Amino acid sequence: MPPRSGEPITTTGAWSVGDEIGDRRFARVVGGEGLGLEAGGRLGPVEIAYETWGELDPSGGNAVLVLHALTGDSHVLGPAGPGHPSAGWWPDIIGPGAPIDTDRFFVVCPNVLGGCQGTTGPASVAPDGKRYGSRFPIITVRDQVRVEALLADHLGISRWAAVVGGSMGGMRVLEWCVGSPERVERAVVIAVSAAATAEQIGLCSLQVRTIRADPAFAGGDYYDRAVGPAQGLAIARGMGQVSYRTAAELDLRFGREAQGVEQPLKGGRYSVESYLEHHGDTLLRRFDANSYIVLSEAMNHHDVGRGRGGITAALSGVKAETSVIGISSDRLYPIGLQYEMARLLPNRPEVRVVESTVGHDGFLVERAAIGAWIADALA
């Protein structure tokens, strides 16, 4: 039987404040009255999964918020295990003596609203006892940050010493800076833009359409079926992976080589095809197709200037000391978008450019360079 989409996934609805699974903790931050959503409607209750490292000082002033990207989760650091289907996605960045030094800072990483690793999302059980599925509402980056702000209140953190994130996480860093400027002292924005571009929207929308076109998607209500939209999600992930890397890197790593002893002229695969299939199959074991859709569409809605007089006006109100980092070869969020953002920020930060052939994924792969710039920003 083909794998179900996102097996195994974790659903919320059975935990209370203080419960743990692996290194994750859970807090109900919105009750049955629900959270009013930017696009309309309400969602509640809302539970959030998060992990922490280090100790919060008595003043609560040493807290750092780390925000993950599209298919990340709260498990930034540590091995796979109970509650953690994969190893930490940003090793070497957090820990004693690391760029985000847990001897100095209390570090918090939440799973995002709409995700599938503990925080309320489409696979969660709704108040009527059934999974949300197709009923999960449209959410935006602003809704996600409001939930993170409620978690900060729950933890007794009125102001972050720093907020750090790349890609989708960088969107939320910007939203924190624009929407709650008094709550952010420093910000590190990595490999992102102030608003989604037409190309980014187009790429995300094609991946969403691919998942929805899988006959097993069943309109989003596949959780009680034997087979979910595994093929659609795997292909969508492969499409995304091409945009996360570069043509030069793919040519260098794979060229036109066949996969092992397979013969492409006789129906076998090229090595690069196997690579993309592997990334799709790996994602199936830990991610939910509905979450992929919900989060991709939230990224498409990203625009810090919406309803705020435009991007220039919105960024002019940022009070945080902001650092901007870009990847030289990023074709999904080209470096020019970071320069544009930096010109509009009040502190006019220098754009720190990580030289890499990897592309957008450089914010995850080039950890030595990224870590050095983060350490400098937090110094």
* CATH numbers and ranges of domains, the chain: 20-195+304-378 (3.40.50.1820), 200-298 (1.10.1740.110)
* Per-residue pLDDT at 358: 97
Average pLDDT over residues 60-80: 96
Q: Is 134 a catalytic residue?
A: no
SS3 sequence of 133-187: HHHCCCCCHHHHHHHHHHHHHHHCCCCECEEEEECHHHHHHHHHHHHCHHHECEE
Is the confidence at residue 15, as pLDDT, over 50?
A: no
- In angstroms, rounded to a whole number, what is the distance separating the alpha carbons of residues 114 and 130? 16
End-to-end CA distance of the chain: 52
* Per-residue pLDDT at 216: 98
Average pLDDT over residues 197-214: 98
pLDDT digits (tens, 9 = 90+) for 316-364: 999 999 999 999 999 999 999 999 999 999 999 999 999 999 999 999 9
* Per-residue pLDDT at 338: 98
Average pLDDT over residues 16-28: 72
The answer for residues whose C-beta is within 8 angstroms of residue 31's C-beta and 6 or more apart is: 44, 45
Helix (H, G, I), strand (E, B) or coil at 374: helix
Model confidence band, residue 82 (pLDDT cutoffs 50, 70, 90): confident
Average pLDDT over residues 43-56: 97
Name the catalytic one among 75, 288, 360, 361: 360
* Per-residue pLDDT at 83: 85
Is the confidence at residue 21, as pLDDT, over 80?
A: no
Q: Is 251 a catalytic residue?
A: no
pLDDT digits (tens, 9 = 90+) for 276-290: 999 999 999 999 999
- Mutual orientation of helices 141-155 and 289-300 as an angle, nearest 10°? 100
Average pLDDT, the chain: 94
- Mutual orientation of helices 141-155 and 168-179 as an angle, nearest 10°? 70
Name the catalytic one among 23, 73, 143, 330: 330
Task: Transcribe 315-355 into DSSP letters.
Answer: HHT--SEEEEEEETT-SSS-HHHHHHHHHHSTT-PPEEEE-
pLDDT digits (tens, 9 = 90+) for 112-146: 999 999 999 999 999 999 999 999 999 999 999 99
The answer for residues whose C-beta is within 8 angstroms of residue 199's C-beta and 6 or more apart is: none
- In angstroms, rounded to a whole number, what is the distance separating the alpha carbons of residues 326 and 230? 33
Name the catalytic one among 167, 243, 323, 329: 167
Q: Is 243 a catalytic residue?
A: no
The HSE-up count of residue 172 (CA atoms within 13 Å, CB side) is: 30
